[in-house]
Every structure is written in C-alpha cells, then in structure tokens.
Structure 1
Amino acid sequence: MTAILLVQGDITRQSADAIVNAANSSLLGGGGVDGAVHRRGGPAILAECRALRASRYGRGLPVGRAVATTAGRLDARWVIHTVGPVFSTGEDRSELLASCYRESLRVADELGARTVAFPAVSAGTYGWPLDDAARVAVETVRAADTAVEEVRFVLFDERAYEAFAARVG
C-alpha cells in the first residue's frame, strides 16, 4: 500500500526519487510549478525536454500523459512531466486529470522510483476547483497499482493543503 503524505511548501525544495511537474504540452517551461521546476532544476531539464520534442513529442506531450527527464539541480533523480487538462464547466475532463496521476505513477514504476512528490495538477492556472482536484488526485493514487511506496502531495498554500487533507482523512 502506498503511503500518502501532505506537505505545504515548494515542490522544488522536496527530496524525492521523482518530482512531478505540472507541465504544459510544449515541455519547454512556463508559469507556476512548470516555471519553478525549470528555474530551480536548471538547463539540463530543458535540454532533455527539447530532445523529447525533437524525437517522440514533436507536437508536444498530450494531456493526461507523462514522460521523465533528469531532475537537474533538484534534490531528485527524475522529473516526471505531466500535462493536466484545463478545467471546463461544459465538459467532464476528470478522467484526463486522473490519467495524469496514473501515468506519472506508471513512469515512476518504470524508473524504479519509490518516493514521488506531486503538485495539485491543474489546480493552478488551469482553473480546476481545489476540492475536486484533491478528490481526483487522492482517489486515483489510492486506486493505483504501483510499487511507489510514498506519494507526497506538495501543496503551495494552506487552502490547497486543507482541500487535500479533507480527502486524505
């Protein structure tokens, strides 16, 4: 059984086998968690992302998928990049959000990662309501068939922490 921990803070300051990046499909950096991971991790992450774009992901990483790179200067072995869906009131995209967590754990298993730090995927600039983002994240991780021993949700502020705490119990 995978242990689920909650931490309020900066995901780029975490020590884990893998840190999950809430990336945009370009894989070339952006705002929020994505920008922070690229800034703190340094140019090695961007170099590997560019190589991925030049080979397998010429059109970008699809929503709900995940891919790993080096972690550069982060205190981790890998960064697992996943592209969350933009929230929509007119379309249920929760399966795409759940796929971000499942796919990230699948990649972590392929790498042999035992500890994985996740942000609240899609709950920032992509507009996903925090309570529902927490529900999807926690339910998906609990249901996942994974060898990952510890999933740490790293929440940026108290509001996000409380939303996830209500789901973890």
Structure 2
Amino acid sequence: MTKLTVLRADITALDVDVIVNAANPSLLGGGGVDGAIHRAAGPGLDEECRALGGCRTGEAKVTGGHRLPARWVVHTVGPVWRGGGGGEDDLLASCYRRSLEEAKRLGARTIAFPAISTGAYGFPAERAAAIAVRTVRAYLEEHPAAPEVFLVAYSPAAGQVLSAAVEEAGEG
C-alpha cells in the first residue's frame, strides 16, 4: 500500500507533484492556506482560477502550480461546520477522495493535503483528521498505484492531531 505520512511544513514550499488547496467556492483566494497558496503561486493562479467558474463543496478542480514547487494544485471546497447534521462528514470525505482521483488522473506520484475545513470553516480538528485518514486509507487500499500522500500540518498542534489520527487508524 502507498505510504501515508504526516509532515509539519509550509505546504506552499513542498516539492511534490500536487498540493491541495482548501479553497472557497469562488476559487479566487481567501485566508489561511488558500491565501498562502494564491500568494505563493502568483497572479497566474488567480487568472486560471477565474476561468474555472468556481467549485462546489465536496468537489475538486485542477490548475497548474505556477510559481509553486508543485506542478499542480487541486482546489477543493470543504464544508462549513454546522454541528454535524448537514452532511459535513460526507462532504469532507468527498474532498479527499475527489482530490486523490484528480491526482491519479494527472499521473501524480505525490500529493500533499492541508487539514481541509479546520480553519475558518470551523470543522473540529480531531473529527476532520479521522475522516481524512479513513478516507485516504480506503482510497489507497482500493488503488495501490495511487500517489504517495502527505497530510501537512502548519502548526505543532495540528501535527499532533493528524499524527494521533494516523496512529489510531493503525498507520503509525
């Protein structure tokens, strides 16, 4: 099975084939990781995103990496946390699954994910980490040739949450 690794890093600086952007529905940049990716990639990313016409929650769209070390950016829109009764878990799982499908379609060998929806969208970090690990593991089991996956934490606290989820799932 392809490896699943937790990294504490700046996702915009990673030399991987694909980085995933926790985007907003407009795809035109925002705060958090979305803003950081847009700033690091430069104006070409904004221009390419404008042409995509936005993205719905749980779906994913691809652009080039522009000034990033990554060759491609997969933009996915995570759910806003509304207490857990609005299908948020399924939508978040869809973000990870659809992003992996796009990376596989591109022929990527490596993909790096941020903790989707855990910032301004308010998804509980532990719950989001468990969904991420469960979804990625299931995808990797079904698709042995899938890309190597990195779950990227910007802060030590986020890294601990992701590492705990991986260990609890039996991957650590």
Q: Answer yes or no: is 1:102 the counterpart of 2:100.
A: no
Give the residue type in structure 1 aligned to 2:103.
A
Q: How far, CA to CA, are the matches of 1:151 and 1:35 in structure 2?
A: 22
**Residue 149 of structure 1, CA deviation:** 3.1
Q: Answer yes or no: is 1:119 the counterpart of 2:114.
A: yes
Q: 3-state SS of the aligned residue for 1:113?
A: coil
**Residue 148 of structure 1, CA deviation:** 2.5
Q: Any unmatched runs of 5+ in structure 1? A: 54-59
Percent of paired sites with the same residue:
54
What is the match of residue 34 of structure 1? 34
Q: TM-score, normalised by structure 1?
A: 0.93
Q: TM-score, normalised by structure 2?
A: 0.92
CA deviations over 1:75-126 (Å, ceiling 9, x no partner): 1110000000001115241000000000000000111111000000001111
Q: Answer yes or no: is 1:129 the counterpart of 2:127.
A: no
1:18-167 → structure 2 map (5 Å cutoff)? 18-53=18-53, 60-89=54-83, 91=85, 92-144=87-139, 145-146=142-143, 147-167=145-165
* Alignment CA distance shift 1:166-1:32 (3 Å): same
Q: Any unmatched runs of 5+ in structure 2? A: 168-172
Query: Is this contact kept in 2: 1:116–1:148, CA < 8 A?
Result: no
Q: How far, CA to CA, are the matches of 2:154 and 2:115 in structure 1?
A: 9
4+ residue runs of structure 1 moved beyond 6 angstroms? none
Q: 3-state SS of the aligned residue for 1:81?
A: strand
Give the total of aligned pairs: 163
Give the residue type in structure 2 aligned to 1:43.
P
**Residue 72 of structure 1, CA deviation:** 0.6
Q: 3-state SS of the aligned residue for 1:40?
A: helix
Query: Is this contact kept in 1: 2:103–2:147, CA < 8 A?
Result: no
CA deviations over 1:117-146 (Å, ceiling 9, x no partner): 000000111101111010000000000134
